[in-house]
Amino acid sequence: MVDTGSYTLKPFPKFREIVKESVEAGKRMNHVIGMTEYDVTKAREIIRKHKEKTKETLSFTAFIIKCLSQAVNENKQIHALRKGRRKVIIFDDVNIRLNIERELDGVKTATIHVVRKANEKSYREIHDEIRRAQGAKGYSTMEVSARQQRRYRNRQKRLIAMPKIARRVVWWRLKHDPFFIQKNMGTVGVTTLGTMFRDRTGYAITSSPQTLSVALGAIVEKPGVVNKKIEIREYLCTTVMFNHDVVDGAPAARFMTRFGDLIGEGFGLTNLDSKK
């Protein structure tokens, strides 16, 4: 017999089957991928100064969502969803799906939170909503957080309890039913994996049922040219995925340029106490 050494045998969690099937559903979309770096120096400096002044840690992800929702709002074709063979649905509301780690039944689990009508919200409103969803200290969120956890847990249990053949209906709707996608997953997806890279250059590539999905990678320092002078700047490694069925290369490139411009100017951070 071969000595395999010591090991631990554990049951494969049922909810991982759901994750596997959802990823497979996203892979069926005809995504094209763009990889770029956005200068986040100004935004990060504003956030750092705010913390020095108030001791409050602002959400960088909320800032990205604010810029993303504005860029999509200016070109809504970017988050259009296909309906059948001959129609496309273009929603007025920019609903952005964000993965948030919550503790459910004592286990840290990645859960889905949808920032609805993000294009109509200020940075502060998006920031507060994310903190509430996370159950952060200092927010009156115990009741809301508990309700959200119960809703997600019950939905997850129902999905796990379904026979695999029945779950295929869910995954089918995530590709073919734009209203089902908009309601349950939002029209734009955001994945944040930057902390995994620990100041190393790194990009993330994910799959998603949305037409537009953005994966945030590492933030790294490197030389950049500002006003014809070389300075050390902070750059966010960003991967943007489009469904090529409904979005062509030129509109995608224009969107990425506008998205980068908004990030570079620190859009939405000029008046952090504003609700508009």
Q: What is the mean pLDDT of the chain?
A: 80
Contact predicate 216/191, CB 8 Å: yes
Over residues 207-253, the pLDDT tens digits come to 777 889 999 988 989 998 888 899 999 999 999 999 888 888 889 99
Domain range for 100: 25-264
* pLDDT recorded at residue 207: 72
Q: Nearest-CA neighbor of 139 among 147, 131, 127? A: 131
Q: Which CATH number is 230's domain given?
A: 3.30.559.10
Question: Does some domain include residue 9?
Answer: no
Q: First-to-last CA distance in the chain?
A: 70
**CA gap 78, 247 in Å, rounded:** 6
Q: What is the pLDDT of residue 247?
A: 87
Residue at 181 is within a domain: yes
Question: Which range, of 4-8, 63-67, 120-124, averages the lowest pLDDT?
Answer: 4-8
- Is 130 among the domain residues? yes
pLDDT digits (tens, 9 = 90+) for 10-61: 776 666 666 666 666 666 677 888 899 999 999 999 999 999 999 988 999 9
State how far the Cα of 90 lies from the Cα of 41, in Å rounded to an integer. Answer: 33
Domain assignment present for residue 115? The answer is: yes
Domain assignment of residue 10, yes or no: no
Q: What is the pLDDT of residues 139-153, one digit of tens each?
A: 444 444 555 556 656
In a domain, 1, yes or no: no
Q: How far is CA 125 from CA 109, 132, 207, 212, in A?
A: 24, 11, 28, 23
Q: What is the pTM of this model?
A: 0.80
Identify whether 249 is part of a domain. yes
Residue at 4 is within a domain: no
For the chain, how many structural domains are there in total? 1
